[in-house]
Structure 1
Amino acid sequence: MGQYLNLMKLSSLASGIGFAELTYQVRQIESYNAHALEAFAVGTALYLLTGIVLGLLLARLNPAPAKRVKPKTRIFSLRSPHHDR
Structure 2
Amino acid sequence: MASETQKLVELQNGEPTTTSLQVAQASGKKQAKAPSSGVYVTVRPGNTYWGWWVKYGTPIQTLRNWNHWPDRRIPIGARARVK
Give the alignment's TM-score, normalised by structure 1.
Answer: 0.28
Rg (Cα) greater in structure: 1
More helix by share: 1
More strand by share: 2
